[in-house]
Amino acid sequence: MDMRLTGKTAVVTGASRGIGLAIVQALAGEGMRVAAAARTVPPALKETGAITVAADLATAHGPGEAIDQALAELGEIDLLVNNVGGGDGGAGQVGGFLGFDDDQWRQTYDLNLLSAVRATRAALPSLIRRRGTVINISSIGARMPHGGPIPYTTAKAALTAFGKALSEEFGPQGVRVNTISPGTTRTALWVDPGGYGSALAAAQGMDLERFLEGLPGAAGMTTGRFIEPEEVASLVTWLASPHAGSVTGADYLIDGGTVKAVRPIAIYRSGGNTGGGSPG
């Protein structure tokens, strides 16, 4: 399917590896001109042909500077993908709520929530002019906040709510905003020694390889395997395309069947409940 993205412009944050790198590759493959923002610029990112923007996206000024450079290099922005997220390696991430101090909470929210707030704020004037699209990469941790470090999962929950609020405010101005919530994906977070997966394995007295073999089953993934970054990237290209022109305010799970519940939708208005369910 032709995604009809040729010649349009995109900014992708957290683009150096994993899901972010896969998104850059997919968008460039669809003929988009891409500005790829990351703290480091590895060879694989350079090979995509994207314009690379070195920026520390966890700082107050980094996202805005990245958007300014993208505007200077590419002109108006059609698509912003707020992908940057995660955090420090696994050490200190598995001890529960009382193990996190204020600095860790602040750093996690700066990276996983406020980076998106700041990048979107800087890009919105251009996105409004172009009737563009914002896609936020959240996590199933937003729906299952017990399933990971609490600063991370609650930051992702806030990111998901941020996207929904933006879609309502700026939809009338032509800007579509959607969220993608991946489950357990084959990224450095899980597979690298010293990452979160390694710390979980150590906490359970297992070596990393054995832990990863059993993780899809333990996570309840009916597909029985990790999600690949390229699968998330494919969903990004469709959501960015005119084929998804009526899709906004949505949160797409790509989790291999991990989340089992169907969230009921109840609509309540003054004078009566019109949604077929109870209010609240």
Asked if 109 is an active-site residue, the reply is no
d(CA 219, CA 258): 6
Of 68, 66, 77, 63, which is closest to residue 27 (Cα–Cα)?
A: 77
Query: What is the dihedral sign for C-alpha 214, 44, 54, 139?
Result: negative
Given a contact cutoff of 8 angstroms between Cβ atoms, the answer to whether 258 and 183 are in contact is: yes
Expressed in angstroms, the distance from the first to the final Cα of the chain is 41
* Amino acid at the residue 241: S
Of 152, 196, 252, 268, which residue is the catalytic one?
152
Report yes or no: 200 and 94 within 8 Å, Cβ to Cβ.
yes
Would you name the residues annotated as active-site residues?
152
